[in-house]
Structure 1
Amino acid sequence: MQAIWKGSVSFGLVTIPVKVYAATQEKDVAFRQVHATDGGRIRYRRICEIEGEEVPYSDIAKGYELPDGEMVVLTSDELSELPLPTRHIVEVLEFVPAEEIDPIYVSRSYYLQADGPAAKPYVLLRDALRRTGQTALVKVALRNREALAMLRPKDDVLVLQTMLWPDEVRDGSFAAPAADVEVRPQEVAMAESYIQTLETTFDPDRYHDEYRAALEQVIEAKTAGREVEVPKAAPAKGEVVDLMAALQASVDEARRQRGEAPAESGGRATRQPAAKKAATKKAPAKKTAAKKTAAKKATTKTTKKAPAKKAQKAPARKSA
């Protein structure tokens, strides 16, 4: 693998010579632009609009257009010789807790390799970052552009992740729902139950690019002269009317896919129906209590009537 940058990490008074390598590689099915009727390749020519002639790539430079239309031409040599102090130095600015950096700022990732006799200070910085849980905020100039970046340990390697500048991240407040939208605590509890059902540890090997795999199958089929089989489209999901019912169905489906049977206990979402069942079971107890109360009233009435009968019999004995 070829290094894309060589320089040093400036860690206080410690200098760590490093080589920088691209840490990621995007994989996709490459296409060519072709003529649909005969498959002929579509070619683009670099034509100068002033001379009307094709220009070789070696004669192409970068131009910045001024408001009046005048073009300022910058050559590759001029761009590579910009007076940037970070052109060959990864300058550590400060250290911040890793969880405070929003992932929206992350742009590209690179591996840093100790260059020459820099292994010891490299390991020193790596282990110190790991022990403190801090991330180093740095500045670095890669590919003729200065970037804010963070330096952090990953396994046994230091990873440099370039970041967007604050003015490059758009304000997302326009996408937030209206402030008067409310959800019930029961709905939040059900959603939490769904999250808990799918909760696991992160293992990137579990996920695959199904779109790329489908494209490769189509290309293979057309190459072999086979008919391309189009899978049946999944039925469209209807509009959610009962949010609680939809969440409960989601929990049950998630459990089914994990090979688990829907359970009536073990999650917040299932405790609520259980409470309702318990309330239903207690209802007959209220009726029994009502019967006991009625029996007590009847006994009380009978007790009150008994003295009245004795009072009627007493005078009869005296007259005899």
Structure 2
Amino acid sequence: MRAIWKGAVSFGLVSVPVKLYAATESHDVSFRQVHAKDGGRIKYQRVCSLDGEEVAYADIAKGYETEDGEMVILDEDDLAGLPSTSSREIAVEKFVPREQIDPMLFEKSYYLEPEKTGAKPYALLRQALEAADRMAVVTIALRQRTSIAVLRVRDDVIVLQTMMWPDEVRTPDFSVDVGEVKDAEVQMATMLVDTLAGDFDPAEFEDDYAGAVEALVKAKIDGGEVKRTPTTTKSSGEVVDLLAALQKSVAAAKEARGEDDGDASDSDSDSDSDSGKGKGKGKGAAKKSAKKSAKKKAS
């Protein structure tokens, strides 16, 4: 993992130098919009909705739309005057009981790792949180904006979880009124809850959609159902050495120009037979490639 922020946790007169790491990553599956005929990616132009003309990136400004639909243009000087902070301090405001924090407020999770000089005060803060069975409400500056967050302990590591501001949590605009609920119905529902009671184990759950997409893509790759374009830069996942990857690229470039790629194909065959391990590792490589691609697209 790569640290995305460095600073210090301060509580009282104690300062704990720490590094911040993203604790989660999305494995969401996303798709590109492409031309069905040749697999070319669909490009979008920046077009003004009023005059229909394409707008250069240098001419694009930030605008704030009011409730009545009017647009207020903000320039760089306006934005520079907004409150911002570059503080490297995670300031503990107070320690609160866990049950007072609604999980709906939680946003993103990060791991805190102590610097070498902060190992002892880090352990002190961790033990204090566990002994008190409380969370520390803190403020932290991320991306030049102050955020509210909490510190809690998970598997001997202090976790920082940023939170939504109170006014960002919506209030439901509907009411639930189903009339009278009979005692017998409540008793039966309670029995059902008891029957399905158990401990939570995240390993019992699996993203079957992502797995099905990976299997489908793998099957199409194995069946040769791949659209090659002049800008193709990735292999099918079957090539595991640099020489074979280069040969594949040459063959693809020749094919795009309508040239004969027989020589390159022969070289590919020789490379595959010589490596021996290419076929066996291809399946795993394809799966990893698909996962990495999904992560990048989701972000």
Measured against the shorter chain, the TM-score band is 0.5 to 0.7
Give the structure-1-normalised TM-score: 0.61
- In structure 2, the residue matched to 1:107 is 107
The residue aligned with 1:219 is 217
Task: Quote the offset at 1:219 in angstroms.
Answer: 2.0
- Distance of aligned partners of 1:141 and 1:64 in 2 relative to their CA distance in 1, 3 Å threshold: farther
Correspondence for 2:231: none
Matched, 1:190 2:192: no
Q: What's 1:33 paired with?
A: 33
SS at match of 2:199: coil
Residue 70 of structure 1: how far off its partner (Å): 4.8
Q: Which has the higher contact order (CA 8 A, sep 6+)?
A: 2
- 1:167-316 to structure 2, matched below 5 A, reads 167-172=167-172, 174-178=173-177, 181-225=179-223
Partner of 1:125 in structure 2?
125
Distance (whole Å) between structure 2 residues aligned to residue 22 and residue 175 of structure 1: 36
Aligned residues: 219
CA distance in 2, matches of 1:97, 1:62: 45
Aligned amino acid, residue 204 of structure 1: P
The Cα offsets for residues 23-47 of structure 1, whole Å up to 9 and x where unpaired, read as 0011022421211333211123457
Shift of 1:150: 0.7
Distance 1:60 1:162, change over 3 A: farther
Residues 92-142 of structure 1: CA deviation (Å, up to 9, x unaligned): 111111122111000000000112300111111111010111101111121
2:17, 2:119 → 1: CA distance?
Answer: 9
Please give the secondary structure, in 2, of the residue aligned with 1:140: strand
Of 70, 73, 82, the residue aligned with 1:71 is 73
Distance 2:28 2:151 in 1: 28
C-alpha contact 2:148 2:165 (8 A) present in aligned 1:
yes
What one-letter code is carried by the residue in structure 2 that aligns with 1:208? Answer: E
**Equivalence for 2:263:** none
Larger-Rg structure: 1
Please report the TM-score for the alignment, with normalisation by the length of structure 2.
Answer: 0.65
* Residues 48 and 54, structure 1, Cα contact 8 Å, conserved in 2: no
Sort the Cα spacing of 1:126 and 1:62 in 2 relative to 1 into closer, same or farther, 3 A: farther
- Name the residue aligned to 1:7: 7
Find the aligned partners of 2:156 and 2:126 in 1 and give their Cα distance.
8
Moved more, 29-38 or 144-153: 29-38
SS in 2 for 1:171: coil
Question: Which residue type is aligned with residue 63 of structure 1?
Answer: K
Give the whole-Å Cα distance in 2 for the aligned partners of 1:89 and 1:97: 23
Q: CA deviation at 1:176?
A: 3.4
In structure 1, runs of 5+ residues without a counterpart are 228-320
Relative distance call for 1:66 and 1:53 in structure 2 (3 A) is closer
Give the SS at the match of 1:32. coil
Q: Secondary structure at the match of 1:187?
A: helix
* Cα distance, 1:69 vs structure 2: 4.1
Cα-Cα RMSD: 2.9
SS in 1 for 2:188: helix
CA contact (8 A) 1:3 1:21 kept: yes
Contact persistence 1:153–1:159 (CA under 8 A): yes
1:4 aligned partner, one-letter code: I
